[in-house]
Amino acid sequence: MSGNKRLEIKNIQQTLPSTAAPAAAEATPRLFDFADLVKLRVLGLMDVTLRGASVPDENFDRRVRTSETEINGMAYGIADTLGAVDGPMTFDLALQKFRGRDNECLFGMFGRTQPHLGSNRVAKYLHEQFPRSFTESLSKSLDKSGPSQTEDVPESLRTTFLGLNKSLYEFLATKGYNDNSGRKLSTISMSGPVGNELKSGASAIVIYIVDRPQAKMMYVANVGDMLAVVSQSNGGFAPVSIKHDPFERSEIVRIRAAEGWVSPKGMVNEEEDLSRNFGLYHLLPAVNARPDIHPHLLSDLDEFVIVGNRGLWNYVSFRTAVDIARLNREDPMKAAQMLRDYAMSYGADGNTVIMVIAVGDLFPGGGRSRNPQDDNPYAYAPIRRHGPRPERDRLLRMLDESVTPPNGLLALVFTDIRNSTSLWEKNVGMPLAMRAHNELLRRQARLIGGYEVKTEGDSFMMAFQTLPAALLWCFKVQTELLDADWPMEILESEEGAEITDSTGNVVARGLSVRMGIHWGKPVCAEDPTTHRMDYFGPMVNRSARIMSQALGGQIMVSSDVVREIERMKEQLDNNHPSYNQFQTLRRMGIEIAYVGERSLKGLEAPEALSLVLPTALFGRLETPTSPAPAPSSRIQFSVNQLMELSMLTVRLEALATSRVFKPHPRRRSFPANPSTEPPAADDNNPIIWRGDPDVVVPNIKSEPTDQDLMMLLDHITGRIENALSSLQIRSMMQSSTSLGPPPRLEDIDPLALAQALRIVQGFMSPITRGVRVS
């Protein structure tokens, strides 16, 4: 019911005839008051003036929203669905003027998507207690040593998360339940209602925004699978949270150090698929509530923040979510509803909750006040509808439609893939790579405001009304090509191998695209077959020839483009329609390298050419320092990975002898007399096998050759096969003797014993198969 400025519910009993009132009053249910709807689970009354009905109380089984859709000047929207769940599993938080300050606000989300006994009670407790606990932590974190008192926000968030996890345990153990006699439970066990709630968990994400004149800061802290992403007006996005997946290498190391383990299914101790969470006290410390904290300096490039739980991010990628929400950037409520519906259409059946916060409203001219539909033909990203959509790609349909065909003075861009003919002939990953290439170029054209004139093979011809739009499109495409999801066959080829510059930055990866830009006035005419604008004349020929002079990954420009760039640096002010795009280019860095005069095919006069690249990619002009991998290499592995595989081998070999291998504990310092070192607590346990792993792990060189690595990998593989064979034999022997006590040696038939030995030899590897057994 959100958005109803005046909502009035009348008492149905008052409208009945007076003669039928007594009988009808008893038969008519009380449906005129929200408080009488006992099965009401979620009630949205945002921006609602309510008359004639009371708002029911909120509890752990009911969520009632009565906040406004504008928080501290930022438009705010939320959408959710219970799905197959009978009640809310996730509780959201939106507080304006946090701590009574006009420049602070707090957003949060606590809970889980699927039901678990007591999980809604856990989520409700966190929802109620977090603002108070965070306020106390901020007050205690004042740094009084400096000239002005400042608050350590990241440390306050960390202590709040950990402190809440502790107080949640006390709440569930001592205050969560009473027995039938009314007395509080005094004993704690992992069985019964209290124990089941102690085994329950909840993810959480909190966004704290501080609007200061000198800087607008956003702090994001999360545990579990609730994530947030920031959409930017240049078409990009920035994740500001981390999903705590037990399969992450850093999380695996931490879980093992806490005496936990990760199953092949990616679950901690075969119980929980998240490595950080509130609750789950029976898995402490392997699973804890220490958050990841991301400070983010807000700028005028930031549009909105999307926050969601697993019900969204399991079905929608960050890029797709940003594209969907951008369709309704003017109304965050509609954007959140579109994201919810999209996730449901792809199978989300749990308690899905989605927030959209328009942080761009904090900046003058940003957020909803931006007007891309300017009548000026040179306006920033002029989005105008122009006939039916020619493409059928579902991702492109989520973006704004193509701009109207530019005319007059404009920028033409030609692109081409380096060595594409050779790749099509010998690389089976080229079809998938071309699909990723085309989608990337078209997506950036929609976001920035480019007109796709035509494509020929793997080449694109683009037209831009302004030069900053053309440069920004080229910069964004070249940057995002490094992060594209290329097929493995492309990355293993010589043309698509990863290359780094002298500083270690990646400057090439995947398909290499060369570009050429020219600024001028071509001849414009509509194609009679496709009914799309086409361009002709000497300018088009010169643009194509300029592109042919570029190498893979380079952007070659004419002297007219360089002069226009220098003119804009001196004369462009904040009233110019292209000012926003040019400021984005300034942030990326515009590096110009003069190439010299080149004779272009079919043109008499030579052209003075220059290379233009963003600062992050200017290392492409250097000689690559990292060699390309061999084309035959299928898997890239390092010395550290082989060491970890060797340790796995030692553990398997220990299990084959019914023991558990544990390395010697790390000492903070080496004692003068090793004999005085106190023994470990389990040194006397015959099952524990302690020792130095370096004794049985192969000695690997710091810079081994490929042949050395392959030989070591073959050696380690053989040891693993032998250990697994021994474990299989032991398992078979245990299953065969599980029906009774093991037989005595003198009772075994010699012929049967010989046959068993032959079976054992059959399981052994070819290296030991010929060893005589006596």
Task: Give the model confidence (pLDDT) of 79-97 as tens digits.
Answer: 999 988 888 999 999 999 9
Q: 444 pLDDT exceeds 80?
A: yes
- pLDDT at position 752: 61
247 vs 403, more confident:
247
- pLDDT at position 223: 97
pTM reported for the whole predicted model: 0.71
**DSSP single-letter state for residue 175:** I
Task: Give domain 70-245+274-362's CATH number out of 1.20.80.10, 3.60.40.10, 3.40.190.150, 3.30.540.10.
Answer: 3.60.40.10
Let me know: does 470 contact 581? Beta carbons within 8 Å: no
AA identity, residue 196 = N
Report the range of poorest mean pLDDT among 25-29, 419-423, 469-473: 25-29
Report the range of poorest mean pLDDT among 126-140, 276-290, 395-409, 713-727: 395-409
The DSSP string of 467-499 is HHHHHHHHHHHHHHGGGS---HHHHHSTTT--E
Rounded to an integer, what distance in angstroms lies between the CA atom of residue 282 and that of residue 269? Answer: 10
Phi, psi of 636 (to 5 degrees): -90, 120
Q: What is the mean pLDDT of residues 252-261?
A: 92
Phi-psi region of 366 (alpha: psi -120 to 50; beta: other; left: phi over 0): beta
- Which of 569, 559, 560 shows the shortest CA–CA distance to 610? 559
The DSSP string of 624-692 is P-SPPPPTT------HHHHHHHHHHHHHHHHHHTT-EEEEPPPPSS--SSGGGSPPPTTTT-TTEEEE-
Three-state DSSP at 557 gives strand
Q: 511 pLDDT exceeds 60?
A: yes
Q: What is the mean pLDDT of residues 680-699?
A: 74
771 vs 212, more confident:
212
Q: Which tens digit of pLDDT belongs to each residue from 112-122? A: 888 877 788 89
The DSSP string of 583-628 is HHHHHH-EEEEEEEEEPPTT-SS-EEEEEEEEGGGGGGGSPP-SPP
- Which of 543, 402, 385 shows the shortest CA–CA distance to 461? 543
Q: Where in the chain is the domain with CATH 3.30.70.1230?
A: 399-621
Q: Which tens digit of pLDDT belongs to each residue from 266-307? A: 999 999 999 999 999 999 999 999 999 999 999 988 999 999
Give CA separation, 188 vs 168, 173, 269, 272, 277, in Å. Answer: 14, 6, 22, 22, 21
Q: What is the mean pLDDT of residues 389-417?
A: 74
Q: What is the mean pLDDT of residues 163-183?
A: 72
Three-state DSSP at 754 gives helix
644 vs 424, more confident:
424
Q: 383 pLDDT exceeds 60?
A: no
Rounded to an integer, what distance in angstroms lies between the CA atom of residue 1 and that of residue 55? Answer: 13
Q: What is the mean pLDDT of residues 490-508?
A: 88
Beta strands 42-44 and 63-65, pairing class? parallel
**Is 399-621 a domain of CATH 3.30.70.1230?**
yes
AA identity, residue 304 = F
The Cβ of residue 620 has, within 10 Å, a number of other Cβ atoms equal to 20
Rounded to an integer, what distance in angstroms lies between the CA atom of residue 279 and that of residue 404? Answer: 55
- pLDDT at position 371: 40
Beta strands 660-663 and 688-691, pairing class? parallel
Q: What Rg, from alpha-carbon coordinates, does the chain have?
A: 33
Rounded to an integer, what distance in angstroms lies between the CA atom of residue 151 and that of residue 142? Answer: 5
AA identity, residue 249 = R
Q: What is the mean pLDDT of residues 420-437?
A: 91
Let me know: does 335 contact 308? Beta carbons within 8 Å: no
Q: 367 pLDDT exceeds 60?
A: no
Burial readout 9-37 (b: 16 or more C-beta within 10 A, e: otherwise): eeeeeeeeeeeeeeeeeeeeeeeeebeee
- pLDDT at position 182: 43
Beta strands 216-223 and 201-211, pairing class? antiparallel
Percent of residues, the chain, with pLDDT higher than 90: 42
- Quote the mean pLDDT of the chain: 81
| Position 741 confidence tier, pLDDT thresholds 50, 70, 90 | low
- pLDDT at position 382: 37
Q: Which tens digit of pLDDT belongs to each residue from 102-112? A: 999 999 999 98
**DSSP single-letter state for residue 465:** S
774 vs 732, more confident:
732
Beta strands 459-464 and 499-500, pairing class? unpaired
- pLDDT at position 374: 38
Q: 543 pLDDT exceeds 60?
A: yes
Let me know: does 26 contact 20? Beta carbons within 8 Å: no
Rounded to an integer, what distance in angstroms lies between the CA atom of residue 112 and that of residue 127? Answer: 13
| Position 417 confidence tier, pLDDT thresholds 50, 70, 90 | very high
**DSSP single-letter state for residue 290:** P
Q: What is the mean pLDDT of residues 543-565?
A: 93
| Position 143 confidence tier, pLDDT thresholds 50, 70, 90 | low
Give CA separation, 306 vs 74, 76, 215, 231, 271, in Å. Answer: 13, 10, 21, 8, 29
Q: What is the mean pLDDT of residues 442-462?
A: 91
Q: 557 pLDDT exceeds 90?
A: yes
Q: Where in the chain is the domain with CATH 3.60.40.10?
A: 70-245+274-362
**Residue appearing with tokens 């032998």:** 722
- Any bridge partners for residue 555, and if so which? 515
CA 448 from centre of chain:
23
Rounded to an integer, what distance in angstroms lies between the CA atom of residue 393 and that of residue 86? Answer: 37
